[in-house]
Amino acid sequence: MSKYHPGSHFITILRHGKSQANEENVLQGQMDSPLSTDGIRQSDALADHWKANGTTFHKIISSPLGRAHETARIISDRLAIPIELDEKWMEREFGKAEGLPYDEILTKYNELPPRSIYEPAYETGESDWDLYIRASKAIQQLIRRPSGNYLVVSHGAIINAALASILGITPRPPNQRIRFRFSNTGYGQLEFNAQTQNWSIRSLNNVYHLSKLGLESDTSFD
């Protein structure tokens, strides 16, 4: 892991381990689903990898949803780092599609006109702008903390929105979207220099710790 520079915010953003719903190809959103056996193995492997390399953080900030919180707890127990739960890092609310298999969602919603960036996702969920604003607030709140080395344990869609807000990429229609794919327990490393007000993206979707597990990579968004 890159060396932490005092005076900066060094932020590692981690997608949770594989959940049971991930294995069942079900859209989770803010529906809760525990880690699967593979998800626990992934989280254990990452915690062991960081411990072996002397990686540590000042604090773990986690989504309160079970799959993220459980991932955070495994890392916290191994590295002896406190966890703080923050609802701003919860996954996107996907409305009436939550809990449905992806193939059923495609059948049910494929014939509808494309949703605009201002409309609720799947009838009652967060719009693209809702998600972008929440992610921007989460980043702002993080940067207002004292400088330090932070681990954020979260979810695919909100991580995408957070990265977009950092890069100044506002919500776009579906055919113009830029997406960042994160595997389960894939993580990115960012740095914000408070003096220069500059962001650096040091890496995205690191999965070195998974190389010995032989697990299939899952890059769905929740």
Q: Which pLDDT band, with edges at 50, 70 and 90, does 177 fall under?
A: confident
- Please state, in angstroms and rounded to a whole number, the distance separating the CA atoms of residues 161 and 13: 12
Give backbone dihedrals phi and psi of 65, rounded to 5 degrees, phi first: -65, 145
Give backbone dihedrals phi and psi of 136, rounded to 5 degrees, phi first: -65, -40
**Nearest in space to 14 (alpha carbons), one of 98, 99, 73:** 73
- Please state, in angstroms and rounded to a whole number, the distance separating the CA atoms of residues 92 and 151: 20
The residue among 79 and 176 whose pLDDT is bigger is 79
* 30-47 residue pLDDT tens: 999 999 999 999 999 999
Candidates 3.40.1190.20, 1.20.58.100, 3.40.50.10860, 3.40.50.1240; correct CATH number of 8-210? 3.40.50.1240
109 pLDDT higher than 90: no
Query: Residue 1's pLDDT is what?
Result: 45
Q: State how beta strands 198-206 and 187-193 pair.
A: antiparallel
- Please state, in angstroms and rounded to a whole number, the distance separating the CA atoms of residues 29 and 201: 26
This prediction's pTM? 0.93
Q: What's the rounded mean pLDDT across residues 11-23?
A: 97
Query: Residue 83's pLDDT is what?
Result: 98
175 pLDDT higher than 90: no
174 pLDDT higher than 90: no
